[in-house]
């Protein structure tokens, strides 16, 4: 397994461009099989979650080719509706295939999805919504089989604004007869991106970005060529890296509107932030104050996917911060690793009390999930001395060219191949 050797304490200076959003690209890849025409998704990041989704598409019989960062999917000859458990368990986003396969073929089967172990992560909201659209579902020994004669538009009210369930409903409902209205929908920018992509394929979806989305189903869908939105979580991770290390960094591709609460929190830490169009510039003196409280919420609240990175920042700042994780049950598994680096953090259920120690020190640590792993990398960049960060397969799920990008900003980070 690869590891990073990181020599901490280097200021970060320079400008980088955010990659396309992982959380857009994955549902877009699932959406590509809604039509038998070729679909091209441009500027796709080289991350292992994308490679896994490409394997799933090949498994159902699609031809998937990647060249110059663009992915071309041709599912004209797709005929398999069943995704093997080995692939489903690798990647939670495999569950999106249920929506798109049902819309195209009226049948789909997969094992319960996997992904990062950050909580229970049930899919009851997905399955109940599919039932509302007329799908019969059988669950046996961890395997889910779905079928219907046709999908029928329906009114669906989500008890919780689940990102994945909202996206799955969109994917299925474009293939339904009649109109579907989703109330209590998630409002993440990646859902707006999925709406735009579906409309580029000829669908009639409106309202994404608000909590009511309307899908006029049954239109014939055709091929499209599409560039996804940029990754606000990746961009936020680099901004936090600069805050921790000190320096001046510009991140291109993401506007202040999708990272509003992070920028507010970084200002509280003592950083200066300037936003202009789709650029964010951060200046940090490196000595930071703790945030009083950070509470994760569905968009536009503070993103759970930046919780771990901000905990790492607070661990090396001055003061006391309380972090409240409201989305996932076990999203503090990286905390014992930060404690190895000198952090003083107490986890009590969904809350973590972080007593800032001013500066962390280098240690040998291991990633246990994607964002927790990113937090360890950022902590090591700011720490005194050298760190080893092991189990990089987790960060490779979501960050393309992580060490090259950080290296271009002046970080001392090296990947050692196992």
Residue ranges in contact with ligand UD1 by CB under 6 A? 23, 26, 92-93, 119-126, 160, 162-165, 186, 304-305, 327-328
* Distance, CA of 302 to CA of 292 (rounded, Å): 14
* Distance, CA of 387 to CA of 231 (rounded, Å): 27
| Minimum separation from the CB atom of position 49 to ligand UD1 (A) | 8
Q: Could you tell me the two tokens for 63?
A: 């031809």
Q: Residue 168, preceding bond cis, omega within 30 degrees?
A: no
| Minimum separation from the CB atom of position 166 to ligand UD1 (A) | 8
| Minimum separation from the CB atom of position 50 to ligand UD1 (A) | 11
* Distance, CA of 415 to CA of 405 (rounded, Å): 13
Task: Give me the helix-helix angle, 189-200 and 163-173, nearest 10°.
Answer: 10
User: Active-site residue 290, yes or no?
Assistant: no
SS3 content of the chain, % helix, strand, coil (to 5): 35, 30, 35
Which is it for strands 293-295 and 320-324: parallel, antiparallel or unpaired? Answer: parallel
* Distance, CA of 149 to CA of 102 (rounded, Å): 10
* Distance, CA of 143 to CA of 351 (rounded, Å): 34
| Minimum separation from the CB atom of position 266 to ligand UD1 (A) | 20
| Minimum separation from the CB atom of position 2 to ligand UD1 (A) | 22
Chain-centroid distance of CA 29 in Å reads 14
Q: By C-beta, is 65 or 160 nearer to ligand UD1? A: 160
Q: By C-beta, is 162 or 269 nearer to ligand UD1? A: 162
Q: By C-beta, is 26 or 39 nearer to ligand UD1? A: 26
* Distance, CA of 64 to CA of 332 (rounded, Å): 36
Q: By C-beta, is 207 or 385 nearer to ligand UD1? A: 207
| Minimum separation from the CB atom of position 76 to ligand UD1 (A) | 27
Residue, CB closest to ligand UD1: 164
User: Which of these is catalytic: 7, 17, 110, 116?
Assistant: 116
The DSSP symbol for 333 reads T
Phi, psi at residue 19, to the nearest 5°?
Answer: -75, 170
Q: Could you tell me the two tokens for 223?
A: 């091929």
Q: By C-beta, is 323 or 409 nearer to ligand UD1? A: 323
Q: By C-beta, is 169 or 263 nearer to ligand UD1? A: 169
The DSSP symbol for 228 reads P
* Distance, CA of 326 to CA of 68 (rounded, Å): 39
Q: By C-beta, is 250 or 369 nearer to ligand UD1? A: 369
Cβ pair 269, 298 in contact under 8 A: no
* Distance, CA of 17 to CA of 27 (rounded, Å): 22
| Minimum separation from the CB atom of position 95 to ligand UD1 (A) | 8
Q: How many CA atoms lie within 13 A of 211 on its CB side?
A: 11
Enzyme catalytic residues? 116
């Amino acid at each position: 397994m690869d590891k990073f050797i990181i020599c901490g304490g280097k200021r970060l200076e320079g400008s980088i461009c955010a990659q396309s959003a992982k959380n857009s690209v994955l549902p877009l890849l699932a959406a590509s099989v809604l039509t038998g025409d070729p679909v091209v998704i441009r500027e796709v990041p080289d991350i292992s979650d994308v490679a896994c989704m490409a394997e799933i598409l090949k498994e159902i019989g699609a031809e998937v080719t990647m060249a110059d960062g663009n992915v071309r999917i041709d599912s004209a000859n797709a005929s398999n509706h069943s995704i093997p458990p080995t692939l489903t368990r690798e990647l939670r986003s495999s569950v999106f295939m249920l929506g798109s396969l049902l819309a195209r073929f009226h049948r789909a089967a997969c094992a319960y999805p996997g992904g990062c172990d950050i909580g229970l992560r049930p899919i009851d909201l997905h399955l109940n919504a599919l039932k509302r659209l007329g799908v019969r579902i059988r669950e046996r020994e961890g395997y889910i089989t779905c079928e219907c004669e046709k999908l029928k538009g329906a009114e669906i009210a989500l008890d919780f604004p689940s990102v994945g369930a909202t996206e799955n409903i969109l994917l299925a409902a474009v293939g339904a007869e009649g109109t579907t209205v989703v109330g209590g929908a998630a409002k993440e920018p990646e859902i707006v991106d999925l709406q735009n992509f579906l409309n580029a394929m000829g669908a009639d979806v409106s309202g994404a970005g608000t909590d009511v989305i309307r899908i006029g189903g049954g239109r014939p869908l055709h091929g499209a060529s599409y560039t996804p939105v940029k990754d606000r979580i990746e961009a936020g991770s680099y901004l936090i890296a600069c805050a921790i290390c000190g320096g001046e960094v510009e991140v291109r591709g993401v506007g202040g509107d999708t990272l509003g609460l992070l920028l507010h929190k970084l200002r509280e830490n003592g950083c200066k932030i300037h936003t202009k169009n789709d650029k964010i510039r951060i200046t940090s003196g490196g000595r930071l104050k703790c945030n009083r409280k950070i509470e994760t919420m569905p968009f536009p609240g503070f993103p759970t996917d930046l919780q771990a990175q901000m905990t790492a920042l607070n661990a090396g700042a001055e003061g006391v911060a309380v972090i409240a994780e409201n989305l996932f049950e076990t999203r503090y598994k990286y905390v014992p690793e930060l404690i190895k680096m000198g952090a003083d953090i107490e986890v009590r259920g969904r809350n973590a009390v972080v007593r800032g120690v001013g500066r962390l020190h280098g240690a040998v640590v291991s990633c246990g999930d994607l964002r927790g792993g990113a937090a360890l990398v950022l902590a090591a960049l700011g720490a005194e001395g050298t760190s080893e960060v092991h189990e990089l397969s987790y960060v490779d799920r979501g960050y393309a060219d992580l060490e090259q990008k950080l290296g271009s900003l002046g970080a001392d980070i090296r990947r050692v191949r196992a």
